[in-house]
Amino acid sequence: MRKILVAEDDKFLLNIYKTKLTKEGFEVVTAEDGEEVIEKLNDTKYDLLILDLMMPKKDGFQVLEYIKSKKILKDTPIIIASNLGQKEDIDRALALGAQDYIIKSQTPLSELMTKINTYL
């Protein structure tokens, strides 16, 4: 079973992601802040990370910088799911190693599922 880590501080959205991904047959682990994401990445190997950028403790950019500094995690595909839509934010996230970037408010769940399946 493929294991996905979902990092999202909005509990409502986190539950939507978890429910949908579980129904699609994925094992889903969740994290609600950047420090928790890093802890979980160090504990377990994941097949994919869905990462919000605006989170407490450490933001998604800091998490990406951490991942980039750890060669062991470099092959884990990362999809950014954020409401930050400025070109600078998107370019920065991709430059830090994210494979893809969606704007949550503009992307249907079906499109996110398509992207997940592309990277797995």
Which residue, chain included where needed, has tokens 């249907």?
Answer: 108
pLDDT of residue 71: 77
pLDDT in 10s for each residue of the chain, 120 residues: 999 999 999 999 999 999 999 999 999 999 999 999 999 999 899 999 999 999 999 999 999 999 988 876 778 899 999 999 999 999 999 999 999 999 999 999 999 999 999 999
Q: Sheet harboring 3-7: ordered strands across?
A: 27-31, 3-7, 48-51, 78-82, 100-103
The radius of gyration computed from the CA coordinates of the chain, to the nearest angstrom, equals 13
Q: Model-level pTM?
A: 0.95
Q: What number does CATH give the domain 3-119? A: 3.40.50.2300
User: What does the alpha-carbon distance between residue 32 and residue 10 come to, in Å, rounded to a whole number?
Assistant: 8
At residue 4, the 3 state secondary structure works out as strand
Q: What is the pLDDT of residue 112?
A: 95
* DSSP secondary structure code for residue 25 in this structure: T
